[in-house]
Amino acid sequence: MSRAGIYVIAAIIGAAALSTSTPAAELAPGTTASPLQVKENWPSWRGPRGDGTSLEAGLPTTWSDTDNVAWKIPLPGIGHSSPIVWGDRLFLTACLVDQGSPTKPTDRLLFCLEKRTGREIWRRTVATSPLEKKHTLNSFASGTPTTDGKTLFVTFLESDSPDEKKNHGQMVVAAYDFDGNQKWAVRPGEFSSTHGFCSSPVMFEDLLIVNGDHDGNSYLVGLRQSDGGVVWKTPREHKTRSYCTPIIRTFGGPPQLILSGSKSVCAYNPRTGERIWNIDGPTEQFVASMVDDGKLLFMTCGFPERHILAIKPDGRGNVTDSHIVWRTKENAAYVPSPIVCGEYFLLVADNGIASCFRCADGERMWKERIGPGHSASLITAGGLVYFTSDRGATTVVRPGPTYAAVSVNDLKEDSFASPAVSDGKLFIRTVGHLYCIGKSE
């Protein structure tokens, strides 16, 4: 299936609960549309295609902490997970760290908001456990939920240690309906990482797939969406922490579950968990998810070395020496996930240096320092790319041969979560609030 076909199908599915004035099938990647010809849900980490792209046009490009804000609400607890949106509802996770001592059990929450106003409809406690050890840039609620419009799926770590200097426990995966009723909860494996927990589930056919890379017996696991039963569980032999959410692509052939992490870049059969191809390295640890332009895959990492790779996706077995098309080590990103917009591949390094490459051959078009630090992943809509810094300032850029900033928009509050897009609005989570950017309804 071509990339255009993937976009069309995803647009139709993502728009199911929203109205459209132009059929999604009339739009193709790289085309422009008048404002709000397509309205999409944002059902998971990085949206309906898992790569930060939105088919909507006419999104806000200028705002502040007071201007062009439809609503702003305080959030309970803390978390770096992204909001997801389906129809008239919005869902988010958080951890109530203000409940007392870190060694005491702490609630990990899933809550539902009204999209139009931000009003809380319900909240549920998914797990209760002591706080785990984590990296200073991580949170205790970093995994983004996912939904098919009927069921919500969410992940947390359930720590089994009262010692805040340790990190070990069980991964908790739970399913809820839209009224907040729990359908099931399972613990598919242990998890231990000195940097904490962050795993966003991915839906494929009747499966829910979760990355369990950690400092122990790492795994990928495919669960039945209906009851959480394990369909397949694939060991990750390097037993090394990573925080990459997989993407699923076909490239004209069978589906591939693709991710970097655990000292490798790999593709798996999402139905069985069987590995299709792999690339050794190019480093030890990974955070950023991968993207593609329909022809090549692109990844950026990592620690201790940083690399940017373009990879042909048609391999079998170990393709380290045959399928890397281009590579650079300069200004690679570790945490923020990159983006593809038209013929350009864009990313921002954690230190705030943004770069734009030509997808086909890796020629760097430009690099520009746009902020002091970046953790949030990039999004794109209407031919523009949005970079949100740790200080809550979003730089809007038009990709091209030269750097072209459209605007810089400062919320004046730190932000580490990746934005979401739906129905002509931007949803940006800061450390204390959730903003709906755009005109009030």
Domains of the chain are: 3-437 (2.130.10.10)
Please state the pTM of the whole predicted model: 0.92
Compute the distance between CA of residue 185 and CA of residue 189 in angstroms, rounded to an integer: 13
Compute the distance between CA of residue 143 and CA of residue 79 in angstroms, rounded to an integer: 9
Q: What would the pLDDT profile of 149-203 be if each residue is shown by its tens digit?
A: 999 999 999 988 766 667 889 999 999 999 999 999 999 999 998 899 999 999 9
Residue-level pLDDT at 440: 82
Residue-level pLDDT at 100: 53
Q: Which residues of the chain have pLDDT under 50?
A: 1-17, 19-36
Residue-level pLDDT at 160: 85
b/e sequence 219-252, b meaning 16+ C-beta within 10 Å: bbbbbebeebeebbebebeeebbbbbbbbbbebe
Pairing of strands 317-318, 275-280: parallel
Measure the CA angle with vertex 417, ends 426 and 40; round to 5°: 35
